[in-house]
Structure 1
Amino acid sequence: MSRSRPTPPASLSPAARPSRRAVVGGGLVLGITGLLSACAGGQVAGPDVRLTGPPQQGGRLRVGFVGGGASDTLDGAVATNLGDIARAINMYDTLFHFDDDYTLQPMLATEMTPNDDASVWTVTLRDGVKFCDGREFTADDVVASVERIIDPDDPKSGAASLAHLESVTALDRLTVELRLNASDTSLIEVFAQYSLIMVPADFDVENPVGTGPFMLDSFTPAQSTVLKANPHYWGAEGPYLDEIALLNFNDTDALINALLSSQVDAVAQIPSALADVIAADTRMRILDSETGMWLPFTMRVDVEPFDDERVRQAFRLAADREGMVEQVLSGHGRVGNDMFAPFDPAYPDFPQRTQDIEEAKRLLAEAGYPDGIDVELVTAPIQAGVVEAAQVYAEQAAAAGIRVSINRMDLTAYWGDYLNYPFSQSFWYTRNFLPQANSSMLPDSPFNETHFDDEEFIDLVRRARAETDDAARGQLIEQAQRIMYERGGNIIWGFADQLDAYQAYVGGLKENATGVPLSGFQLHRVWMGDLA
């Protein structure tokens, strides 16, 4: 459950030209540019530095990110913020995972095979896997993990995706059977989500045990987490590092300052407005990954004024999507079309929605708002680019008579009630259509931010999950996506690249399509090297 680009100094960007992009975040860039120059001895550019040699064993990686609070958790099954997700991916494993190209790959399971109608799945586990305390990982642990996730008294984030699970049974030491009360061809993708962690039957969140490449050393909510290498790690690669320090920062200014002053080795989610400026420092590297990450505006379809489909359409038509990608993401992204899951093979090619101010005005007048409409947009710095997107949309929508007042909240307050705001924002990493719909578009979804409850949509999702023929399933998904396109509660204006930054001596980071920062937080592949 990423910015307006100010114009950098001519010495950094000869092609830069003045524009209203300088309005959002301009102070941050000027301040960081000054620090960058100071850290480089007054010279931003200089001889390039290169990482030399093969991966090296040992060392400590310090990773910085914005966010976190008193609700930070060591339980990967309820991960929400960046720190939670980083802990989940590095301390625990799932049965499957998506690789850097967003292709499904085995993890703790080597195979997951359905029967003819995908109502019974047989999971074959990897032999020789151990938990960080040295105990063997077996089918009994899978049963315990799944039962923990779907516990009706304390359901975890993945529970809604497993609502149709009838039974989970260990057939032998390395074989598990999953029986469903409804067919589901996408079940294997559910078990590739980072929240579907596998843990021992006696799992204790105060003393967590997992099979991941790292294990807990210390944890202070809202401040820091220290992980150390798991001596029993089963994977073929890594971990190369002895230790990882995950460090929380209160704001982006502090985060970038920490990077440029070498207090951290890598940072997750830099403002796109700063990518070129940071890259000008030869000590730094930018990791720019094309992803399916989306930063929607969410309209609750069950409350005024968004219970009127015409209002929702008007709000979508007020957005200049190309302008938002340019201003908010500094071009580091792609235009969206009010549908998610662009990496899904069934993603449809509908006519691209563009800004249409006159039609937006007409629809508002038809819905009873001939003089325009006043709305509050609740936002917070939950992801790079979210607050900036709010500011840009408010400017764009004003032309259609949509008068947006922005209520910027701090992170703790925002997450405390975020499912109840009539007009707000969210973010999602790359997912295919069916897992995403399960998480956010159904009445029983854990994160139904728009309170969407469309009978036709629900039926199409149910039928798509049960359809074993790829082509037929794709047609059902296309129909469901059209409902979202025409009457959904999301304004999906674009798909953001994931932008991270790191010191040049950090090796092993690569482009990753999942949308999760720093190569999907797969830090077991990262190593500290020497520079030439």
Structure 2
Amino acid sequence: MTVHRRPRSLRTLTAMALAASLMGLAGCSSAGTPAADAGAASSPRAGGTLRVGIVGGSAKDSLDAHSPVTHPDEARAIQLYDTLASYDVDHKIQMSLADKITPSADAKTWTVHLRDGLKFSNGKPITADDVIFTFQRITDPKNPMAGATALSGLERDAMKAPDPQTIVFPFATAFATFPDIVTQYNAGIVPVGYDPKNPVSSGPFMTESFTPGQQSTFVKNPHYWRAGQPYLDKVTIIDFPDDTARVNALLGGQVDAIDQLPLGQVNVVKANPQLKVLESATGSWLPFTMRVDQAPFNDPKVREAFRLIVDRQQMVEQVLGGHGTVGNDMYAPFDACFPQDVPQRNQDIAKAKELLAEAGKSNLSVDLVTSAAAAGLVEAAQVFAQQAKAAGVTINVKKVDPGEFYGDQYLKWTFSQDFWFTRDYLPQTAASGFSTSPYNETHWDDKQWTDLVNQANATTDQATRCGIIQKAEQIEFDRGGYIIWGFPNSVDAYSSTVSRFTPDKSGIPLTSFTFRNVWLNK
């Protein structure tokens, strides 16, 4: 929950080009060093414990591979579970547990081949049966996980394993986005019989201890497949719902790195020779979410008025301190199909007032629920409340703690906010756009839009698919439930004793929470 020019992803290619590209990736860049690391301060050193302070967390914290919600959940999942493919720091797909991912000519069947010698943390081989179990668990109709909607076309009972290293994924229709979907951090591979309360790991670390709402400690997986990795012996992830406490922990040496450095503290950290700031341009976004099925936002005129209230440049300057880029109510700005010719929506108070009057909603008063669940959310709510006054709208900012924000009312607030990391358009729609999506925070359910997105998912020709996507994006621009005012840079901080954190376009903090890559110079 994602600024930069988006590199072309495998999703943008035809099925045959996908096959050639993916086969070309086989065995490449799997454990290599990104170019940005060429000037690292030292060669990798083994050992030590990395202590990381991460925003958010609550008593609902989880180790489940397939249902991460908060930043700490995501960080834990990335330590514990590897996916079939992964993103590099430029958000390009590379192979991970798989060494080949190959489509049929019509992209209705995808064949995945696993690397040789893969093992879980308990020493058991990672086989095709485990992969099939993983994706059947994700798509279980009785208990669908976060990635289920994206895989709605998977014929889950027809998956097969011709041999222990090969899995065949059949789909009811062409599915051009399969490589993107299996790269998502909520698609980690788990063993047959997986127990999320006592997880066996396919990733670089395995669980030593876990206290929900407080901290978790992970130790090196001795059977991890990447040679020499992880370099660290341990990683301790500490929940910090409070920004001040998180920054003070870094300044005081209680942690070695923190995510989401408050922008007001950037110069403080830069002035400390023992600390470093890590800033990455991203496609992440912090939307305002309007429930389209509840008053007053069930009226598209009200939704349009609220989008016209926002002074986007002021948002970027005041909320992000200039560390970001203005948005235009459309997500996935680095998707190859992103519409570049839609006129920028700017603040228009007169038009907003006119629309509210036509809707019979002049002098409207609305509660806006916010939380310090991600950097910038509370500040954005406060700035929006000030901007809305000019349109005669009263915004009552209701700040709750992250535990309540992501509690029983999550996805039910009438007017709220959220955060998203960098995704291409179609994977993002699967996560948040359909009535069946796990995070449909706006309760968006538009048949014309749904038909277009389903058509795009089944279209392998890039030019044709881009035309369909752009029609779908225009519908959301015109009548959707999001206000997307900008794309914040990811700004983190860490001790100079840590090496290998590099800029990363994913929007996931601290170089995608991939702590297997880093080492300690002490």
Tell me which residue corresponds to 1:101.
Answer: 90
1:371-422 superposed Cα distances (whole Å, 9 cap, x missing partner):
3211110111110110110000110111111210011111121112121111
Q: Mapping of 1:15-164 within 5 angstroms?
A: 52-164=41-153
Tell me which residue corresponds to 1:244.
Answer: 235
Deviation at 1:108, TM superposition (A): 0.9
Deviation at 1:116, TM superposition (A): 2.6
1:424-483 superposed Cα distances (whole Å, 9 cap, x missing partner):
101100000000001101111111111111111101101100111011101111111111
Distance between the aligned counterparts of 1:484 and 1:127, measured in 2? 45
Distance between the aligned counterparts of 1:343 and 1:272, measured in 2? 24
Partner amino acid, structure 1, of 2:197: E
Tell me which residue corresponds to 2:294.
Answer: 303
- Equivalent residue in structure 2 for 1:277, among 250, 268, 278: 268
In the alignment, does 2:331 pair up with 1:328? no
Identity %: 48
In the alignment, does 2:272 pair up with 1:287? no
Tell me which residue corresponds to 2:356.
Answer: 364
Partner amino acid, structure 2, of 1:145: T
Tell me which residue corresponds to 1:489.
Answer: 481
Distance between the aligned counterparts of 1:326 and 1:52, measured in 2? 33
Distance between the aligned counterparts of 1:53 and 1:150, measured in 2? 44
8 Å CA contact 1:237–1:525 kept in 2: the answer is no
In the alignment, does 2:253 pair up with 1:268? no
In the alignment, does 2:194 pair up with 1:203? yes
In the alignment, does 2:346 pair up with 1:354? yes
1:344-380 superposed Cα distances (whole Å, 9 cap, x missing partner):
11111111111111111111111112x3211110111
In the alignment, does 2:518 pair up with 1:526? yes
Partner amino acid, structure 2, of 1:492: I
Distance between the aligned counterparts of 2:416 and 2:274, measured in 1? 38
3-state DSSP of counterpart to 2:281: strand
Tell me which residue corresponds to 2:166.
Answer: 175
Distance between the aligned counterparts of 2:249 and 2:308, measured in 1? 40
Tell me which residue corresponds to 1:462.
Answer: 454
Tell me which residue corresponds to 2:303.
Answer: 312
| Runs of 5+ consecutive residues of structure 1 not aligned to the other structure | 3-49
Distance 1:135 1:482, change over 3 A: same
Distance between the aligned counterparts of 1:51 and 1:143, measured in 2? 39
Root-mean-square deviation (Å): 1.4
**After alignment, is 501-510 or 266-275 more displaced?**
266-275
8 Å CA contact 2:113–2:165 kept in 1: the answer is yes
Tell me which residue corresponds to 2:422.
Answer: 430
Distance between the aligned counterparts of 1:146 and 1:90, measured in 2? 19
Deviation at 1:102, TM superposition (A): 0.6
Q: Which is greater in Rg?
A: 1
8 Å CA contact 2:85–2:94 kept in 1: the answer is yes
Distance between the aligned counterparts of 1:463 and 1:319, measured in 2? 33
Deviation at 1:145, TM superposition (A): 0.7
8 Å CA contact 1:463–1:476 kept in 2: the answer is yes
Partner amino acid, structure 2, of 1:481: E
Tell me which residue corresponds to 1:17.
Answer: none
**After alignment, is 179-188 or 519-528 more displaced?**
179-188
In the alignment, does 2:221 pair up with 1:230? yes
- Equivalent residue in structure 2 for 1:381, among 358, 372, 384: 372
**After alignment, is 54-63 or 150-159 more displaced?**
150-159
Tell me which residue corresponds to 2:392.
Answer: 401
Deviation at 1:334, TM superposition (A): 0.6
Deviation at 1:52, TM superposition (A): 4.3
**After alignment, is 182-191 or 503-512 more displaced?**
182-191
Partner amino acid, structure 2, of 1:340: Y
Distance between the aligned counterparts of 1:258 and 1:494, measured in 2? 29
8 Å CA contact 1:457–1:483 kept in 2: the answer is yes
Distance between the aligned counterparts of 1:393 and 1:179, measured in 2? 46
Distance between the aligned counterparts of 2:292 and 2:197, measured in 1? 39
Distance between the aligned counterparts of 2:40 and 2:438, measured in 1? 44
3-state DSSP of counterpart to 2:374: coil
Deviation at 1:289, TM superposition (A): 0.6
8 Å CA contact 1:341–1:432 kept in 2: the answer is yes
Deviation at 1:153, TM superposition (A): 2.2
Tell me which residue corresponds to 1:343.
Answer: 334
8 Å CA contact 2:139–2:151 kept in 1: the answer is yes
Distance between the aligned counterparts of 2:419 and 2:89, measured in 1? 20
Tell me which residue corresponds to 2:11.
Answer: none
Partner amino acid, structure 1, of 2:450: I
1:22-76 superposed Cα distances (whole Å, 9 cap, x missing partner):
xxxxxxxxxxxxxxxxxxxxxxxxxxxx984312111111001221111111112
Distance between the aligned counterparts of 1:130 and 1:497, measured in 2? 36
8 Å CA contact 2:65–2:196 kept in 1: the answer is no
Distance 1:51 1:342, change over 3 A: closer
Q: How many residues of Structure 1 are paired with residues of Structure 2 in the alignment?
A: 482
3-state DSSP of counterpart to 1:145: helix
Distance 1:460 1:191, change over 3 A: same
Deviation at 1:117, TM superposition (A): 2.4
Distance between the aligned counterparts of 2:165 and 2:244, measured in 1? 49
Distance between the aligned counterparts of 2:265 and 2:343, measured in 1? 33
8 Å CA contact 1:273–1:329 kept in 2: the answer is no
8 Å CA contact 2:241–2:401 kept in 1: the answer is no
Distance between the aligned counterparts of 1:53 and 1:457, measured in 2? 51
Partner amino acid, structure 2, of 1:264: V
Distance between the aligned counterparts of 1:442 and 1:92, measured in 2? 27
Name the TM-score, length of structure 2 as normaliser.
0.90
Distance between the aligned counterparts of 2:133 and 2:316, measured in 1? 44
3-state DSSP of counterpart to 2:161: strand
3-state DSSP of counterpart to 2:284: strand
8 Å CA contact 1:146–1:168 kept in 2: the answer is no
8 Å CA contact 2:153–2:173 kept in 1: the answer is yes
8 Å CA contact 1:51–1:529 kept in 2: the answer is no
**After alignment, is 271-280 or 224-233 more displaced?**
271-280
8 Å CA contact 1:101–1:512 kept in 2: the answer is yes
Partner amino acid, structure 2, of 1:407: K
